[in-house]
Chains A and B, each alone.
Chain A
Amino acid sequence: MSPLAFSRRGLIGAASAGFGGLILAGCDRLATAPPLTKFIGSAEGLTYRAQRLLLAGQPLAREFSARDISPVFKSNGTHMPDSDVYQLWLKNSFADWRLAVGGMVRQPLTLSLADLRAMPSRTQITRHDCVEGWSAIGQWQGIPLAHILAVADILPAARFAVFYCADDLDASLDGSGQYYESIDLIDAFHPQTILAFALNGKPLDAAHGAPLRLRVERQLGYKQAKYLMRIALVSRLDAIKGGKGGYWEDRGYEWYAGI
């Protein structure tokens, strides 16, 4: 091979690599451009409606047997909330912790862990699916959210349940880093939607959301809000924090996480 041919080939290679890079960079700018991502994101509405249609009969998520439980249930997101009040709660086994239920309800509630444990509970062995792709199976015990909503007597105008958590996933001064989540009342009244206080037969540990976390089976892991402090019934989500209905939703993830 002559040196000329080699250099010409090298030149063509370099030129096409550069051109390819240019295309890639252009595509990338396009792929993340707000108007386009908004249009692309409109498919979420289609997915939500399609799944609501598929799930109209409120079928249960698969429940597994004790042999199917993951040896280690991976903990993700916050492993230990660093606020002083959480450390105090943890120190006395959450005796001072309360769950507040308010917003569009006739009967606001303030419930201790003992109050909650005295309520009827449901135990279910289900699969937890992280948006990242991994799954873990665990046994959850908790109070059906439907029961708590019935006791609080929600108003007809309420459409969503919003869950406020004790962890700041993103350190911030304005509270925008506080974890929160929301679900519609279809999911809120689903029989497997529970406020769990136990995992695999033991009280929740800090890594898995002690003292209380949401389980909304049929949706991804980031909907399963940990370290619950307050539940608010609301008619709309756009006035709350980033306006998208959740910590990760405010950061670009879908509000409906059934896929």
Chain B
Amino acid sequence: MPTDTALEPTAAPPPAVHPAGREVIYRHTLAVRLTHWINVVAVSLLLMSGLQIFNAHPRLYWGAFGADADKPWLEMAALNPDAAKPVGVLRVAGQQFRTTGVLGVSAAADGSPDVLGFPRWATLPSGRDLATGRRWHFFLAWLFVTNGLAYLIFGLVNGHFRRDLAPAARELRPRHIFTSIVDHIRLKHPVGEEAKRFNILQKFAYLAVVFLILPLMVLTGLTMSPGVDAAVPWLLNLFGGRQSARSLHFITANLIVLFVIVHLVEVVIAGAVNEIRSMITGRYVIRTGNGS
């Protein structure tokens, strides 16, 4: 551990080799680091303002339309909204779960039970304020899309996608993928040359988020806009109607949360200090295998 902190990387690329079996490499370019942290802020606040908007009608449907009289596939509600102690429930695909305190019913600002989809601590702003939630959401959406486009352009121009994310042919062999899965389960992390690049599961995860999940988030969001629907009607065909797009927007947001959880767990397992530092300064310490 002391060697870790004693080692202050000062050298820019090319990498410096250290005698203690450690090597400092320049892992993340400024463009990746900058867009990453802007994305962290944008996605976190988009999620919270998105939950605020969801709370205005905490029911999800499939198809073009859906309102109170139509059947939702997901719903957060109170069993007895007017009672002193209402019971909060989540109904999804015909199943009902009691979720008092978190979903359906949670504490208001004064601590009394409030009928609300997601709890106030999860929304931006907290409590019911759809107008402010929408303002934040659409401001952040512009920030998110601008930042995402900058990332895509940098990634294409400076070779980030080709060099760091595109899987090599040998990495796509089932045996290699299987080995990587086993390594992940055993929490075993590569050392030496192998640690200089993303492993195949990491590449798959990042590629899926960058080229599938996040674009899907933007497109399903745009499909909820009646203005965009008139200009780009094929979006409605692609997602099966506005209410389907709203459902997919919600599901995709959940996938992003799932990715972030796994991502953070992996950061901790792989060494939080080294990982976070590499995303701030760009420099990443790898064990070359012949030292510690």
Contact surface of A with B, Cβ cutoff 8 Å: 21, 24, 27-28, 31-32, 37, 40-44, 46-47, 51, 54-55, 59-62, 64, 68, 70-72, 74, 127, 129-137, 217-220, 248, 251-254, 258-259
Contacts and interface: CB of A to CB of B under 8 A. Distances in A.
A37 B124 CA distance: 12
B134 A131 contact: yes
Interface bracket on B: 35 or more
A55 B134 contact: no
Indicate the member of A31, A40, A253 with the most B CB atoms within 10 Å. Answer: A31
Given A47-B138, A133-B246, A217 B226 contact: yes
B125 A259 contact: no
A199 to B, nearest CB: 14
A80 B54 CA distance: 27
A253 B131 contact: yes
A28 B126 CA distance: 7
A70 B54 CA distance: 21
Contact of A62 (B66, B125, B229, B246): B229
B130 A137 contact: no
Indicate the member of A133, A251, A259 with the most B CB atoms within 10 Å. Answer: A133
Indicate the member of A32, A132, A134 with the most B CB atoms within 10 Å. Answer: A134
Contacts of B231: 51, 54-55, 59
B53 interface: yes
Contact of B68 (A27, A134, A248): A134
A28 B232 CA distance: 36
A31 B136 contact: yes
B243 A135 contact: yes
A259 B228 contact: yes
A259 B132 CA distance: 14
Contacts of B131: 248, 251-253
Contact of A127 (B130, B141, B242): B242
B139 A61 contact: no
Nearest to A129: B226
Interface string B111-155: 000000000010011100111101110110110000000000000
Contacts, number: 137
Given A41-B135, A70-B67, A251-B131, A54 B228 contact: yes
Contacts of A71: 69-70
B65 interface: yes
9 contacts: A28-B125, A46-B142, A59-B233, A61-B226, A61-B229, A62-B233, A134-B67, A135-B66, A137-B65
A134 B227 contact: no
Given A40-B139, A44-B138, A136 B226 contact: no
B230 to A, nearest CB: 5
B288 to A, nearest CB: 37
Contacts of B130: 131-132, 253
Interface of B: 53-54, 56-57, 59, 64-70, 121, 124-126, 129-132, 134-136, 138-139, 141-142, 224-233, 236, 242-243, 246
B3 to A, nearest CB: 29
B157 to A, nearest CB: 25
B54 to A, nearest CB: 7
Contacts of B70: 70-72
Contacts of B243: 134-135
Contacts of B53: 133
A68 B64 CA distance: 8
Nearest to B122: A24
A100 B66 CA distance: 35
A218 B228 CA distance: 8
B186 to A, nearest CB: 28
Indicate the member of A43, A68, A251 with the most B CB atoms within 10 Å. Answer: A43
B61 to A, nearest CB: 8
A31 B126 CA distance: 9
A258 B224 CA distance: 10
Contact of B227 (A72, A133, A135, A258): A258
B225 A31 contact: no
Nearest to A30: B125
A24 B121 contact: yes
Given A37-B132, A59-B231, A68-B65, 13 more contacts: A47-B138, A51-B228, A54-B227, A72-B70, A133-B56, A134-B65, A135-B66, A219-B226, A252-B132, A253-B131, A254-B135, A254-B138, A258-B225
